[in-house]
Structure 1
Amino acid sequence: MSIFATRHDRLLSWEWIGDHTDEIWERTLQHLQLTGYAVGIGLVIAMAMSMVALRWRRAYAPLAALSGALYSIPSLALFAILVPYTGLGFRPVLIALVTYTLLILLRNIVAGIDGVPRSVLEAADGMGYEPWRRFLAVDLRLATPAIIGGIRVATVTVIGLVTVGALVGSGGYGVFINDGLSRNFTTPIIVGGGLSIAMAIAFDLLFVAVQRLTTPWSRAGMAP
């Protein structure tokens, strides 16, 4: 009993961390899995929405409004709406996280493609590019900085929200935070919160590096 009290009185118990390394790794994989699925699915949906908006310009406003309305719903409220239909666990959190990526990705994709210089598009047309080939080889290529920027923001946002998703049984670092709060034990709170922040920073830096590697012309101030 005295050992238990001593460990709980400390701000950070290294003994607890050593005893829970396997669980920390398991929660890390859960956090990464949810983040990857949410951003990946969100990117596919947002890309489809963007293509519709670029083909029919009048569709952009309602699509952006719908995405904005979903984004404005507080995460806990959205979980509460979804749980009666999906049950607890992975599914409601994944659905909610995907909805939170749509507005960010849609805006960045459309803005990036709209930002491609008209002269470049005319040159590609003059070279005989078919519309689909020009879209893949020119439009998306030059819109890469904006698209990666959107993925970067969406990923960091999702990493934070995955932590909240532990309240409905999705796993991830939020499990440690909930456990620490329920027992008034600071170590799991610090571990869960600290690892979430570290993961967000790591992915933010990763996408900065990816953007620099894939768009060298943006650093040189010239087109590819």
Structure 2
Amino acid sequence: MNLFADAVAWIFSPDRATGSLPLSEAIGTHLAFTAVSVLIAALVAVPAGWLIGHTGRGREVAVALSGAARAVPSFGLVLLLVLVFGVTHKVAASTTAFVLLAIPPILAGAYAGVEAVERRVVDGARSVGMTSGQVLRKVEVPLGLPLLIGGLRSATLQVVATVTLAGYVGSWGLGFYIVQGIQLRDFSQILGAALVIVVLAVLLDLLFALAERAVVPRGVSAGRTQEDAPVRRRRRRATAPSPT
């Protein structure tokens, strides 16, 4: 308990506003790495995922890529790319590593969202004269947005945690405090920086959860509500106390 209190005191200490790396700057850098990496990954993975989901081609490759990415050690990937790019290009190497880690979940969310659209809905759109491109833009993409947001959510949480590793190759982000704390054996600093990362992850997860609910089309959410109403009534009757 004392360690936790010391960690909280470290976070709110006036010293965090000064020094070579103020806490606010570390948080900003951490979020900047996360946002840029996820954005670049989305620019690559979202169009590819929509194309795979719409045409059905390349799905096996996407599934294999998503599965293989889970086996890649994040720390090893960061160090490998730093060696490949050179120590003078640590930012580019780290960003590339984070992008590569973010692509698979976004790709999976993009093609799964399009694939999840019911075929009778797609057939209905084609029957009214929509072209293949119109079906993708006006039917499959809007209906698949919740799963796409889910993929972005997963990628963002993975990246915001992995950006911590940047502290091992440069004096950036919240990972710097953890690496420095390990060297100094300052456990309150290590736990304090870890708590800040956890808070950032929880806030980002909450934002994406709200966005995931917001992008559900009104007609779809209304239909689900009507379909779920009988189920809820049966559950209430089943759980209601029996009369005595």
TM-score band by shorter chain is 0.7 to 0.9
Is 1:116 aligned with 2:111?
Answer: no
Change (3 A) 1:15 1:83: closer
| Residue number in structure 1 paired with 2:28 | 29
CA contact (8 A) 2:113 2:146 kept: yes
1:123-153 Cα distance to aligned partner (Å, 9 max, x none): 2223332222221121110001111111111
Deviation of residue 16 (structure 1)? 7.7
The one-letter amino acid of 1:156's match is L
CA contact (8 A) 1:93 1:170 kept: no
* Max Rg structure: 2
Percent identical pairs in the alignment equals 28
Q: Which runs of 4+ in 1 moved over 4 A?
A: 13-16
The one-letter amino acid of 1:78's match is L
The one-letter amino acid of 1:220's match is A
Gaps of 5+ in 2: 226-244
Deviation of residue 190 (structure 1)? 2.2
The one-letter amino acid of 1:143's match is G
Distance in 2 between residues matched to 1:39 and 1:195, nearest whole Å: 20
CA contact (8 A) 1:173 1:196 kept: yes
Change (3 A) 1:28 1:164: same
1:56-105 Cα distance to aligned partner (Å, 9 max, x none): 53422123323433442101211222112223432121111111112211
| Residue number in structure 2 paired with 1:220 | 222
* Mapping for residues 106-185 of structure 1, pairs under 5 Å: 106-169=107-170, 171-185=172-186
Deviation of residue 52 (structure 1)? 4.2
CA contact (8 A) 2:10 2:192 kept: no
Q: 2:16 aligns with which of 17, 20, 28?
A: 20
Distance in 2 between residues matched to 1:170 and 1:130, nearest whole Å: 52
Tell me the matched-pair count.
Answer: 215
Q: TM-score with structure 1 length normalisation?
A: 0.85
Q: TM-score with structure 2 length normalisation?
A: 0.79
Distance in 1 between residues matched to 2:43 and 2:157, nearest whole Å: 18
Q: Over aligned residues, Cα RMSD in angstroms?
A: 2.4
